[in-house]
Chains A and B, each alone.
Chain A
């Protein structure tokens, strides 16, 4: 497996506080990789270390299989959307994006059309000549998102890219990320687990500067061995269902409005048995979805027990 990014035992301290405490990450090339964790878990520091903004104290960082970040070697190949960074207030949108593009080696003739196309994508074409200071927070955030895709880099690091975006623009940004070119690797750090779950194909959970788990989204959420149902509240006999599925682990929420089945074998067969039973028992089925929610997997990995239906 080709890796776009590999961190091995990376450490970083701010004074006496350890921000990264032996962080390990393996990001396959071409993946849309989610980095999740609580506040202060080390996500932003990890992003900053990878992009050369912050110097690590120890460990090995390997980008695009060509060593640690080097602005000359990786210029134009690795870009970053830092979390709290502000664009220069007096610059104009088109101008600042042109500056970044030129600096990372985009041919001058391509800069104008590229900036125009990207601004169109985030619905900011009409503000291309506006000064940054005149933009709303969400608009400025979209400009910072665009700058990370200038020059079609191989590895894009996005720290909380959706923060400050309204629902329409957040959805648009998700589509934009989903339509990235094949082979381009995007690492997204976010608190919004629902968003990460919808967008990413791989995910890592980071806590206290360490990697708790990392896997494919299917693997982490158990999409291949868990199926969950949201039900109309009703009284029904779980033992009867367990009798029909003897090798499976079934769990019902105390209020009876959620059912979780840890299965082995064919999902369609298991689902047919469960749905058949629920219909026979006249239990209304509101929703069926494979796997845990990422939020549950995340809470479980951090040691917080989650009740079915929670």
Chain B
């Protein structure tokens, strides 16, 4: 009798190898990597223009490579004070300032677009397997829970692949455009942010797999995944604005059960915040998937 974890591992391994070959996943991964690379390139272009203008204003010779002024700016006390007042939290601002600006841009892009990547790939793959009947070849061979967990694990692994490729692409462009960049420090920062992005994405993978288990149509599942992502985003914004004392504390509770509510914790360097954010996001991912599984475990496939 094969243990559950082994069934899950086999399903996850197959899911990853199969998903990588699917056109939809390949296109979305290419777009994600292209998005990260283009953003970094665009950021460097803006930096160059900014530095050129500053040089012209000051009447000095412009530097051949971008980034030098930014690095100086990043370390200046007035800028740090401005960022602290913008963020509203000294420790978060300090954490952000400890990250190289180019990596920070990468992190912002990675965090912002990873839910979109997940929602465009995961629900369709899972729902297609149910709709086409391919799942009927698997269900008699392993438990439905192992299949569900394997899908979550396989799709999460796909996100890791997308993140690794995006880091490689973004770092390479930054390296080519900013010869003076501290390559090792930026690579480390980007990898750390990619890791955090993955934890954040895990909650969305769980949500996507959960939603897909209710459907047979890939398009319907994708549309619903997208809607869910947008609704969660709107709820996140509402939580931010409406949370307060008294009855408005309900928004703080709602914030706990949406991924966006824990996003800020991942930007911090403080281990306690980081750990709590990771634990919440991982739990949310599993809970979302489990809700879908509760239906899938009894449905006719």
Pair B134/A86 contact, Cβ less than 8 Å: yes
Interface residues of B, count at CB 8 A: 27
Inter-subunit contact A99/B140 (CB<8 Å): no
A86 engages B132 (CB within 8 Å): yes
- B138: chain A residues at CB < 8 Å are 100, 103
A85–B132 contact, CB under 8 A?
yes
Cα–Cα distance between A100 and B7 once the two chains are bound (Å): 11
Residues of A within 8 A of B132 (CB): 85-86, 88-89
B108–chain A nearest beta-carbon distance, Å: 33
User: In the bound complex, how far is the Cα of B298 from the Cα of A91, in angstroms?
Assistant: 27
Contact pattern, A 79-120, Cβ under 8 Å of B = 1, otherwise 0: 110101111111100010001101111000000000000000
Check B10–A71 contact: CB distance below 8 A: no
A277 within 8 A of B: no
Specify the chain B residue showing the minimal Cβ separation from A88: B134
Contacts of B143 in A (CB 8 A): 71-72
Q: By DSSP majority rule, is chain A's interface helix, strand, loop, or mixed?
A: loop
Residue of A69, A84, A87, A91 touching B140 (CB-CB under 8 A)? A69
Considering the complex, give the chain A residue whose CB is closest to the CB of B11: A103
- CB-contact partner of A100 in B1, B2, B141, B300, under 8 A: B141
Interface residues of B in 100-156 (CB under 8 A from A): 129, 132-134, 136-144
A261 CA / B141 CA spacing, docked (Å): 50
A69 and B137 CA atoms in complex are apart in Å by: 14
B137 surroundings in chain A (CB, below 8 A): 80, 82, 85, 87, 100, 144, 147
**Interface status of A55 (Cβ within 8 A of chain B):** yes
Answer yes or no: B77 CB below 8 A from chain A CBs: no
Provide the residues of chain A in CB contact with B18, threshold 8 Å: 88, 90-91
Closest to B125 in A: A88
Given A53-B300, A88-B129, is A103 in contact with B21 using a C-beta cutoff of 8 Å?
A: no
Contact residues in B for A55 (Cβ distance below 8 Å): 298-300
Contacts of A72 in B (CB 8 A): 1-2, 143
The 8 Å CB contact of A80, one of B14, B129, B136, B142, is B136
Asked whether A52 lies within 8 Å of B140 as measured between CB atoms, the reply is yes
Judge if A54 is at the interface, Cβ distance under 8 Å.
Answer: yes
Please judge, given known A-B contacts A71-B141, A90-B18, A90-B21, whether A85 and B136 are in contact too, CB under 8 Å. Answer: yes
Given A79-B140, A90-B22, the answer on whether A99 and B14 have CB atoms closer than 8 Å is: yes
Check B188 for interface membership: any CB of A closer than 8 A.
no
Q: How far is the CB of A73 from chain B (nearest CB, A)?
A: 8
Task: With both chains docked as a complex, state the minimum distance between the C-beta of B212 and any C-beta of chain A, in angstroms.
Answer: 15
A75 at the interface (CB under 8 A from B): yes
Using Cβ atoms and an 8 Å threshold, which residues of chain B touch A89? 132
Chain B residues within 8 Å of A103, by CB:
2, 7, 10-11, 138, 141-142
B142 touches A99 (CB 8 A): no
Q: How many A-B residue pairs have CB under 8 A?
A: 86
Q: Name the one of A75, A87, A144 contacting B2, with C-beta atoms under 8 angstroms.
A: A75
Given contacts A84-B133, A87-B134, A105-B2, contact A51 B140 (CB under 8 A): yes
Chain B positions within 8 Å of A99 at CB level: 10, 14
Is A214 in contact with chain B by the CB < 8 A criterion?
no
Chain B residue nearest to A147 (CB atoms) is B137
Cα A147 to Cα B139 in complex, Å, equals 13
Q: A87-B134, A88-B18, A91-B18 are in contact. Are A54 and B300 (CB under 8 A)?
A: yes
- Chain B neighbourhood of A211, CB < 8 A: none
B17 at the interface (CB under 8 A from A): yes
Q: Which listed residue (B2, B133, B140) contacts A86, Cβ 8 A?
A: B133
Tell whether, in the assembled complex, residue B1 and residue A75 are in contact, meaning their CB atoms are under 8 Å apart. yes
In the complex, which residue of chain A has the Cβ closest to the Cβ of B3? Answer: A72
Contact A71 B133 (CB under 8 A): no
**Which one, A71, A76, A87, A144, contacts B139 given CB within 8 A?**
A71
Chain A residue contacts of B7, Cβ below 8 A: 103
Residues of A within 8 A of B299 (CB): 55
A103 to B138, CA, bound (A): 8
A306 and B140 alpha carbons, distance in the complex (Å): 41
Q: When each residue 271-301 of chain B gets 1 if its CB lies under 8 Å from chain A and 0 otherwise, what string results?
A: 0000000000000000000000000001111
Query: Which residues of chain B have a CB within 8 Å of any CB of chain A?
Result: 1-2, 7, 10-11, 14, 17-18, 21-22, 129, 132-134, 136-144, 298-301
12 A-B contacts (beta carbon < 8 Å): A54-B300, A55-B299, A71-B143, A71-B144, A75-B1, A79-B141, A80-B137, A86-B133, A87-B137, A88-B129, A88-B132, A100-B137
Contacts A52-B139, A71-B141, A71-B142 known; 13 new A-B pairs at CB < 8 A:
A48-B300, A69-B140, A72-B143, A75-B1, A75-B141, A79-B141, A82-B133, A84-B133, A85-B137, A86-B132, A90-B21, A103-B7, A103-B141
